[in-house]
Structure 1
């Protein structure tokens, strides 16, 4: 398995024959509004450009994987790029209809998608009223028969569903957001650093931390995060990639894996209708 970190949550994930562009935010630096609503620090997003080699890497994508419709995970530039290439877009049932209305070739993620074991794991993008307003988010467990298994938590705080998935599915690699995003009201909408420490301790294998130094409402820096992980004695099991860096992971053994939990998963409703209108894509 290869994980090429591009920027924020955008990455190229190579699993077997698939090269999935995950949560593409392809806008030029400074071309989107700031996300910080209250307090100091509001700046135009993204804060940094894509790596210089990004166009060549993007051209290798065979499909797109979307966890939710927020513009830092699927922006207007990405929509235009995907439509121009006619790539299939994999998304949860809760997002599929909305994405089809945007002219995308959408395939719903479920067990067996992409020729591998899959589970859609709902995430809480914050707490209380703000989590409701942020809308439904889907994490994905992907286990290709010839590759390490990976759990993409997507944007989340540390809730029971995340810990249950880690304990039950025992993913070889967990990819989680580490920016501790805070819009200035309602509290953090991503894992706090303390929650990340708990997640890393709980994870059975490697942990990749992203969503750093790219958006105005994400104050955590790579340097501070690495220092905290060193202080906790956890740096050996964590990767904090720079933009453009590629990580390689090999499957350690051929032992049977836990089976994904089957079920219909969340369905779109009023919450999804509201957040889709405010997604800005």
Structure 2
């Protein structure tokens, strides 16, 4: 297994000899306006450039997983540059119809027992923030667990905060590697949309033998938790040996 942090929630997972692109936001730095009701309203998204070329990201690609359709997870550039015949996995039928409307021809809704080239893909639960009012606005999200007899179990949690659903996924699948979206991105009115440092700590406590990788950091205007702060916090709480906080372009092999 090899995991490469591209930018924001965009990662490349090479698993059982297949290459997956997850949540592609591929636009050049500063292409899009800021998200409303957030900090840094004088900036444009993404805040940083891609660490490599789009050609490199797409080279040898076998499938794409889109956990939900927010701009910072599936943008206009991704819609334009991804091959229309590529295998696309999405969270539900509504997302499938929208992706198909963008011209993609090989779209499948993730299930509990999806099989792709011998790899089991398990759709997992998530909540994109706290509070019923926010969740009505923000919509549904998912994560995914990867399983294969030749690989460690990988859990990509997606855009979720820590809550009992994440605990249940950890208890059920007992992942060896956990990727969390840990930038504590926030709406001013509603608070956190994804995990902050305390959420990441809860993940570690629930799965103390797993390696946690925190992504979705410092790339769009509403982030509030920096890489450096998370690293310092992990030292204070004595779990720094169990967490990785990659820079854009950094890879890990397991």
TM-score range, shorter chain: over 0.9
The answer for the alignment partner of 1:19 in structure 2 is 19
For residues 42 and 194 of structure 1, the distance between their equivalents in structure 2, rounded to whole angstroms, comes to 28
The answer for the alignment partner of 2:91 in structure 1 is 92
Q: Mapping of 1:102-117 within 5 angstroms?
A: 102-104=102-104, 105-110=106-111, 111-114=113-116, 115-117=118-120
> Structure 1 residue 52: deviation in Å?
3.3
The answer for the alignment partner of 1:218 in structure 2 is 223
Taking structure 2 as the reference length, the TM-score comes to: 0.92
Q: 1:78 to 1:222 in 2, by over 3 A?
A: same
Taking structure 1 as the reference length, the TM-score comes to: 0.84
Residues 174-212 of structure 1: per-residue CA shift (max 9 Å, x gap): 100111011211111111211111111212411110001
Structure 2 gap segments, 5+ residues each:
none
8 Å contact from structure 1 (residues 68, 138) kept in 2 = yes
The answer for the alignment partner of 1:279 in structure 2 is none
Q: 1:93 to 1:16 in 2, by over 3 A?
A: same
Q: Mapping of 1:187-226 within 5 angstroms?
A: 187-203=191-207, 204-226=209-231
Number of residue pairs matched by the alignment: 248
The structure 1 segments of at least 4 consecutive aligned residues displaced by more than 4 Å after TM superposition are: 38-42
The answer for the alignment partner of 2:235 in structure 1 is 230
Residue aligned with 2:82, SS: helix
Please, which moves more after superposition, 47-56 or 172-181? 47-56
Match of 1:124 among 127, 130, 145: 127
Residue aligned with 2:56, SS: helix
8 Å contact from structure 1 (residues 36, 184) kept in 2 = no
Match of 1:243 among 238, 241, 248: 248
8 Å contact from structure 1 (residues 36, 216) kept in 2 = no
The answer for the alignment partner of 1:252 in structure 2 is none
Structure 1 gap segments, 5+ residues each:
250-281
Residue aligned with 2:186, SS: coil
> Structure 1 residue 54: deviation in Å?
4.9
